Amino acid sequence: MSGVAMLGVFSSLITGGGVLFAETWLEWIIQPSSWGVILQVAAGLGFVIFVHELGHFLVAKACGVKCEKFYIGFDIGGMKLAKVQWGETEYGIGILPLGGYVKMLGQDDNPGAAGHEAERARASGDLPPEPTSNGEHEWDPRSYPAQTVPERMAIISAGVVMNVIFAVVMATVAYHWGIRELTCGVSSVRPGAAAWKEGIRTGDEIVGVGAINDPIFTDLQRAVTLGDVESGVEFRVERPSDGVVRTLTLSPDTDLGIPSVGVSSPYSTTLPTPLPADARDVMPGALATADPPLEAGDRIVAVDGQDVASYAEIVAALSANPGSDAVLTVSRKASEADGQAGEKTLEVRVPPLPRRVLGMAMSGGVVRALQKESPAAAAGIREGDVIAKIDGEDAGDPLSLDDRLRSKAGSEITLTVFRDGDEAAAEEIVLTPRKVTWLEEARWPSSPVAVSSLGVAIDVLPVVAAVEAEGVAAAAGIQPGDRVVRAAFTSSGEMADDGIEITSENNNWPYVEALLQVVRLDTQLALAIEGADGEVREVTLTPADATDRFLIERGLMFDPVYRMVKAGSWSAALSRGGGRTLEELLGVYRFLQKVTKSEISPRLLGGPIAIAQQAGKSAEEGFGRFLLFLTMLSANLAVVNFLPIPVLDGGHMVFLAYELITGRPPSERVVIALSYLGLFMLLGLITFVFGLDLGFIPRR
């Protein structure tokens, strides 16, 4: 085989928002509404492989090599979906959709068949070749081994060259067509993350990343993911309220398995079109409780009579009175029944949305991070401190601490802190909590909980500190001192196999609590609880509504903020397309380098299922976005196939380079041994990514 395009091998980075919004990939596949996307994805992925193999095929033909097979997919055991014989070549589609190959006379990537193939190439001419002095027959002139080293190098490299050309073409067409790109605003920040420490907040605009001015969100992601973790990444951030641009150097965090700074992409003031199908029935908050009902495409223009022009302003207005009804002024497209054209304005009343609670308080941990220019930083609180008391009373549940302190904004309070967690080193610190009009939710795994009014991020220990007498936890038999070791959301009342692990070192409890606020109303929380005796038992809790804690966003959903990126001419599109392709090629090398340095977790690799999901998501976002996905895919295929691994194109090039330098091919025994090694490496990698795709190997 030649030019093996291993679709399950190359790195497909899974990031937030990059997976399909369905219960499972299988559920998405069987939905009739997905079949059109599936066909588009299959055609696109198949075409990327076809282009790679076409490069090998055309150059091999130009060199006079006999090509016996041209296959998309692998015909394992002779099984195939279709085949046709045209001239001397059999064209077909194999049963295993992991790549493709061109079978040339005298060349086989299977080490076990290499010897037999060599014999075929020595005895397959129209006339028997004359034996040499050592008794062996010379190569058939139309066989692959009979070609000169430069010709064989051209054949081997042709697949990669075609992938690069294809990537440039696809990116050029995409930019000429036009692509919707996320802008570089901020909707929320992760507590304790690099952006949070520097005081970046909801509504801020990132106007520069490194050397890039006016970036899109993918520029930010690429700069952070592939940038230097040690020296950091330069950000230029503008706050619309004051118009000041600050230059910050953010050192990306790596605790999530991939470098990140902890910002979420921006939201608009417009509700999504269409709304989620079950939003009015099973999702918490505004879409189910608003009076009159909100509709897809509604645009919020005022909150409680206060004009709003951005998502940040909506959040700020809603944060003023989270426990009271909010009156939204909505601009809605007028219908024929309204007897008017354009838009109409109406008022919608949205009740408060209570937090879902379990009737138990967790133990507070140390201050993990401090925010610059915050009340806590100014007062001298340090990382490693434990906030034990507030105005002489126990600090209590760290998850409700910020809600309790927001009512004290503008008034002095006294904190009792244990320096470095040492109760004997207690100090009293006087400070004034600030008013908070932005979001700092623990919506990422392993996040601490933010006390935004103070500017600290606190670790939450997975140990139950207190249980309400009449609460949900008490009814389930949970007691103070119990430790939560795993959590899973369920509708069946049973613990899922892929629950969220919770440990003191990798504490996901704040993340679980954040997810609890946005899951379906009929969802329960299954917990694995370790008691004082060391035994682990499972309990299932049905969350209750709090009476004194409310969600600021009230369950509202908004469309992201996009801008159209479109080249003004074909030459401009070609320039953008070439630049994007170069970024993708270099990005793959940088990604692989970071994996080897443990800055990116290999558990973020994607196999065929994850790649198909990413492709499907891209296809749903528009034709231009799908073409850019194919650009990325083709660049991945080019780079990974040219890695110096035997049985891949790069491995063949290494053997050919050795032959070119020494004047003789490497030992057949060495080639076979290295080929087996490369084959086992690839099979191991394929097994690994399939395990990730199917959930047998957790991604964290």
pLDDT digits (tens, 9 = 90+) for 191-225: 999 999 999 999 999 999 998 999 999 899 889 98
Claim: this prediction has a pTM higher than 0.75: yes
Residue 644 lies in a domain: yes
Q: What is the pLDDT of residue 447?
A: 92
pLDDT category, 36, cuts 50, 70, 90? low
Residues 127 and 226 in one domain: no
pLDDT category, 699, cuts 50, 70, 90? low
Residue 394 lies in a domain: yes
Residue 652 lies in a domain: yes
Higher local confidence (pLDDT), 349 or 287: 349
- Whether the per-residue pLDDT at 24 is higher than 80: the answer is no
- Whether the per-residue pLDDT at 57 is higher than 60: the answer is yes
Question: Three-class SS of residue 18?
Answer: coil
How many residues are there in the chain?
700
- Residue 319 tokens, joined: 């944060």
Q: Which helix (H) or strand (E) holds 669?
A: helix 668-694
Closest CA to 503 of 700, 699, 280: 700
Q: What is the pLDDT of residue 587?
A: 87
Q: What is the pLDDT of residue 75?
A: 84
Residue 227 lies in a domain: yes
Distance of CA 357 to the CA centre of its chain: 29
Measure Cα distances from 256 to 14, 249, 599, 699 in Å: 12, 20, 10, 10
Q: What is the pLDDT of residue 449?
A: 94
Residue 123 lies in a domain: yes
pLDDT category, 114, cuts 50, 70, 90? low
User: Rounded mean pLDDT of 426-443?
Assistant: 93
Q: What is the pLDDT of residue 453?
A: 95
Q: What is the pLDDT of residue 230?
A: 82
What is the tens place of the pLDDT at every residue in 529-570? 999 888 999 999 999 999 999 999 999 999 999 999 999 999
Q: What is the pLDDT of residue 696?
A: 73
Q: What is the pLDDT of residue 95?
A: 85
The residues near 692 (Cβ < 8 Å, ≥ 6 apart) are 603, 605, 606, 607, 610, 699
pLDDT category, 28, cuts 50, 70, 90? low
Higher local confidence (pLDDT), 52 or 283: 52
Which of 75-89, 135-149, 151-165, 587-601 bottoms out in mean pLDDT, i.e. has the lowest?
135-149
Residue 13 lies in a domain: no
Q: Report the distance separating Cα 700 and Cα 503, nearest Å.
A: 13
Q: What is the pLDDT of residue 79?
A: 85
- Whether the per-residue pLDDT at 146 is higher than 70: the answer is yes
Find the CATH number of the domain harbouring 418.
Answer: 2.30.42.10
Q: Report the distance separating Cα 41 and Cα 31, nearest Å.
A: 15
Percent of the chain with pLDDT over 70: 89
What is the tens place of the pLDDT at every residue in 370-425? 999 999 999 999 999 999 999 999 999 999 999 999 889 999 999 999 998 888 88
- Whether the per-residue pLDDT at 131 is higher than 60: the answer is no
User: Rounded mean pLDDT of 228-236?
Assistant: 89
Q: What is the pLDDT of residue 621?
A: 79
- Whether the per-residue pLDDT at 238 is higher than 70: the answer is yes
Residue 272 lies in a domain: no
Q: Which of these three, 492, 507, 542, is where a domain ends?
A: 542
What is the chain's mean pLDDT, rounded?
A: 85
Higher local confidence (pLDDT), 579 or 497: 579
pLDDT category, 317, cuts 50, 70, 90? very high
Q: Tokens 């989620």 appear where?
A: 276
- The structural domain count of the chain equals 3
Residues 535 and 398 in one domain: yes
User: Rounded mean pLDDT of 302-324?
Assistant: 95
Which of 67-81, 131-145, 253-267, 621-635 bottoms out in mean pLDDT, i.e. has the lowest?
131-145
Q: Report the distance separating Cα 225 and Cα 229, nearest Å.
A: 9
Q: What is the pLDDT of residue 350?
A: 94
Q: What is the pLDDT of residue 472?
A: 93
User: Rounded mean pLDDT of 453-481?
Assistant: 93
- Residue 408 tokens, joined: 């004290």
Range(s) of the domain holding residue 63: 25-178+568-694
Residues 480 and 424 in one domain: yes
- Whether the per-residue pLDDT at 614 is higher than 90: the answer is no
Phi, psi of 176 (to 5 degrees): -75, -35
DSSP letter, residue 595: H
Residues 171 and 220 in one domain: no
Question: Three-class SS of residue 589?
Answer: helix
Q: What is the pLDDT of residue 21?
A: 32
User: Rounded mean pLDDT of 665-673?
Assistant: 84
Residues 375 and 487 in one domain: yes
Which of 136-140, 325-329, 348-352, 663-667 bottoms out in mean pLDDT, i.e. has the lowest?
136-140
Residues 605 and 687 in one domain: yes
Higher local confidence (pLDDT), 492 or 353: 353
What is the tens place of the pLDDT at every residue in 488-509? 998 765 655 568 899 877 889 9
DSSP letter, residue 499: P
Residue 468 lies in a domain: yes
Residues 637 and 579 in one domain: yes
Q: Which of these three, 266, 281, 309, is where a domain ends?
A: 266
Q: Exposure of 514 by Cβ count < 10 A (0-12 exposed, 13-18 middle, 19+ buried)?
A: middle
Q: Which of these three, 266, 290, 325, is where a domain ends?
A: 266
Residue type, 536: V
Residues 170 and 257 in one domain: no
- Whether the per-residue pLDDT at 6 is higher than 50: the answer is no
Give the torsion through C-alpha atoms of 492, 496, 502, 507, to 10 deg.
-80
Residues 574 and 609 in one domain: yes
Residues 402 and 538 in one domain: yes
Residues 119 and 234 in one domain: no
Residues 73 and 189 in one domain: no
Q: Report the distance separating Cα 675 and Cα 99, nearest Å.
A: 18
What is the tens place of the pLDDT at every residue in 517-539? 988 888 899 999 999 888 999 99
Cβ proximity of 40 and 612 under 8 Å:
no
